Amino acid sequence: MKVSLFITCLIDIFQPTVGKATVELLERLGCEVSFPASQVCCGQPAYNSGYVTEAKQSAKNMIGAFENAEYVVTPSGSCGTMFHEYPHMFKGDVQWEERAKRLAEKTYELTQFIVDVLQITDVGASLNGKATYHTSCHMTRLLGVKEAPFTLLSNVKGLEIEELSNSQNCCGFGGTFSVKMMPISEQMVDEKVNSIEKTDADYLIGADCGCLMNIGGRIERLGKPVQVLHIAEVLNSR
């Protein structure tokens, strides 16, 4: 199966090990992975801030970059959601709406692709310790991916998953929200860190690097002994 990797800005710039784990995992599961070099930002920061015209320029580039892909897979529920937003962004635009729809229909978040397309629930991973999982807002509420991460994590050998209280609450990142509304964002992430601490988990696992960067940064500043991992890193551990 041929997969085109949508790597996202945060992974490309800040967390390349997540991208590496994603490629290794997909290849181990039998996929042929390609990387369209013309991909850039999906336009989400601009779009969420109300700069729709500017976001459309990024979107058009991404539609072209992945036009010939069989499947598009991304280790980010948030950025994957943005691809599904493109048809709404270009609604009524004869030239771009259908192209946007075709891209959305073949775009999957990583765990969603593994479980729903590859029909795999156990990737043969192992990691000893206790973990809790952060359910990111865009991935669960907009993309609708809720069960796939837990299905895969439940089959990781040696890993105990502890439920996170108030898991439905946002971590306070929200892209530009964490910059524009810093005092509120700080209170939100503090609530999240307190909930994580109560689980006595060794690991915090998530599927969105924006959330993990925000929560992880706060954990580090507060000196909490919790290791932050992207789910791709966990599923690629053996």
The domain tally of the chain equals 2
Alpha helix locations (H) across 3-118?
9-13, 16-28, 44-48, 52-65, 77-89, 97-105, 110-112
pLDDT by residue for the chain (238 residues), tens digit each? 999 999 999 999 999 999 999 999 999 999 999 999 999 999 999 998 999 999 999 999 999 999 999 999 999 999 999 999 999 999 999 999 999 999 999 999 999 999 999 999 999 999 999 999 999 999 999 999 999 999 999 999 999 999 999 999 999 998 788 888 889 999 999 999 999 999 999 999 999 999 999 999 999 999 999 999 999 999 999 9
Distance CA 199, CA 132 (A): 7
Residues 65 and 144 in one domain: no
Q: Which of 51, 84, 116 is the last residue of a domain?
A: 116
Which residues does 141 contact at the CB level (< 8 Å), separation at least 6?
none
Which residue segment(s) compose the domain that 194 sits in?
A: 122-235
Residues 92 and 156 in one domain: no
Which pLDDT tens digit goes with each residue over 91-126? 999 999 999 999 999 999 999 999 999 999 999 999
Residues 55 and 155 in one domain: no
Residue pointed to by tokens 């967390």: 15
Report field, pTM of the whole predicted structure over 0.75: yes
Residues 99 and 166 in one domain: no
CB contact at 8 A, 12 and 37: no
Compute CA 86 distance to the chain's CA centroid, rounded to the nearest angstrom.
Answer: 17
Q: Which of 56, 81, 116 is the last residue of a domain?
A: 116
- For residue 183, the domain's CATH number is 3.40.50.11810
CA distances from 237 to 3, 64, 126 (A): 21, 34, 6
Residues 156 and 72 in one domain: no
- For residue 78, the domain's CATH number is 3.40.50
Q: Which of 77, 97, 116 is the last residue of a domain?
A: 116
